[in-house]
Structure 1
Amino acid sequence: MDPLLTRIRSELEDHADPDIRESSKRFFKEEIRCYGMKTATARAIAKACRTEVKGRPKEEVFALCEELFASGYLEESFIASYFTEHLATYEKADLLLFRHWIDAYITNWAACDTFCNHTVGDFIDRYPECTAELKAWTQSQNRWMRRAAAVSLIVPAKRGRFLDDALEIAALLLTDTDDMVQKGYGWLLKEASREHPEEVFDFIMQNKKAMPRTALRYAVEKLPKELRTEAMKKDW
């Protein structure tokens, strides 16, 4: 086993708090595996390894991340996400590996969002033509792949980018019955509305009859009050 992986796990065990482990479970409907610590603590452990990881070839970094994701522990997924976000230079082919990690190892919203908001979002910013892959994820049987399709554009959408792609992904997920997916694309619409309130409002008004209320409530949060009130009316 990689000595660094052994050290990371030893530090996670040293910082594990049974009380935090139990209290963390209330944030998830599904069963989770976690050591029990604040996210900042896991991030600090990752930061402490930055110099050692940065000096490795990308293939070794990704192999380490594979081991961390595969463990199923929430904090290990956070550390893997930190490494992919800060220490790797992406190539277009890397998206296939990212898709594999999401499909095979991600089993809760926190792991999904931490990895996709930043690593996959940064990747899409660099390779915007790969939004086609995100749209393909909307058809997956895996709820976390479908959520990933939306939340991977959260950070770029907040900056006003990828509006057309965000609306297309929301349309593809519009009638999804999974609440984690509904919240994911509702969140994407909310972030897109910061720079494009009229366009997002128009999308909502055209689709709100079919849009689940969970997604709608998320989507309207950042709209101006008068648009938010209009969008929430049950007027059909």
Structure 2
Amino acid sequence: MKTGTIISELKSVADPARQEAYKTMFPTSMKYLGVRAPAMRELIKNWWVEIKKWTPEELTSFAKELVDTRVFEANQVAFELLWKNKNALKQLNLANLEYLGKNIDNWATTDAFSVMLSGWAWRNKQINDNDVLKWLNSENRWWRRTAIVSTVPLNRVARGGTGDTKRTLMICEKVVDDRDDMIVKALSWALRELSKSDKPAVKEFMEKYDSELAGRVRREVYTKLETGRKNG
């Protein structure tokens, strides 16, 4: 399996209409092919027959090659393949993560990276709190969003999380007055995810910072606390 093979097969299932839609859905400096998620998942399943036999080192190296293509879908494939091999995930350190995340410049790539890679590595102590706080203090809005969305795997059962109130709120309290739309949406998501395992802590947080929080955060999180849903 080579990078060129991945790109070629992605192109074979590309949808021109989807390619055009992506420009509005998540603008990026990367190249779009226009591959829909179901088609990509089917290809990954086919590729996995061979790739699952690779060593963690081989897979990590290949994921970096995919990232280097600067193709939007290839970056997604890189993250998905690593997620499927937990031994490869266990070898990701800060340097590897920052290399794999070097193209994040849109919410879709950022969130996939954060949920599948960086949040997992943080939860498993392959990176530490200071590493995540460094991202949060970055001038790059996407690395700031990464720091916040990386709390999701700490709390989401489907991603192996068991709940981590302390670290989640450590991040959230540092962005309560940030009005960047990408940060506001990430903060709401982080708090709503934590509310599934520690509703009292989220309620206390909301009451403490109520006057400083963006309207979207107050609306979505209070609705989640009251109804269990994002929107009423």
TM-score (norm 2): 0.86
How far the C-alpha of 1:144 sits from its partner, in A, is 1.1
Q: 2-side partners of 1:26 and 1:218: how far apart?
A: 24
What is the identity, as a one-letter code, of the residue corresponding to 1:196? D
Contact 2:90/2:126 (8 A) holds in 1: no
Distance change (3 Å), C-alpha of 1:182 and 1:35: same
* 1:35 equivalent among 13, 33, 36: 33
Can you list the C-alpha shifts for 1:3-37, whole angstroms capped at 9, x where unaligned? 52111111011111111111233323556632112
Three-state SS of the structure 2 residue aligned to 1:52 is helix
Three-state SS of the structure 1 residue aligned to 2:82 is helix
Task: Tell me whether 74-83 or 120-129 shows the greater mean CA deviation.
Answer: 120-129
Contact 1:21/1:34 (8 A) holds in 2: yes
Contact 2:155/2:163 (8 A) holds in 1: yes
Three-state SS of the structure 2 residue aligned to 1:45 is helix
Can you list the C-alpha shifts for 1:186-210, whole angstroms capped at 9, x where unaligned? 1000110112112101101111211
Residue matched to 2:81: 83
Q: 1-side partners of 2:219 and 2:115: how far apart?
A: 21
For the pair 1:217 / 2:191, whether they are aligned, the reply is no
Q: 1-side partners of 2:30 and 2:98: how far apart?
A: 21
What is the identity, as a one-letter code, of the residue corresponding to 1:217? R
Contact 1:92/1:127 (8 A) holds in 2: no
Task: Tell me whether 22-31 or 166-175 shows the greater mean CA deviation.
Answer: 22-31
What is the identity, as a one-letter code, of the residue corresponding to 1:95? L
Contact 1:5/1:64 (8 A) holds in 2: yes
Q: 1-side partners of 2:117 and 2:29: how far apart?
A: 25
Count the aligned residue pairs. Answer: 224
Q: 1-side partners of 2:77 and 2:128: how far apart?
A: 25
What is the identity, as a one-letter code, of the residue corresponding to 1:177? R
Residue matched to 1:10: 8
Structure 1: 5+ residue stretches without partners: 229-236
Percent of matched pairs sharing the same residue: 25
Three-state SS of the structure 2 residue aligned to 1:35 is coil
Contact 2:93/2:127 (8 A) holds in 1: no
Can you list the C-alpha shifts for 1:133-165, whole angstroms capped at 9, x where unaligned? 222211011111111111112133234511111
TM-score (norm 1): 0.84
How far the C-alpha of 1:107 sits from its partner, in A, is 1.2
Where do residues 116-127 of structure 1 align in structure 2 (5 Å cutoff)? Answer: 116-127=114-125
Q: 2-side partners of 1:101 and 1:37: how far apart?
A: 21
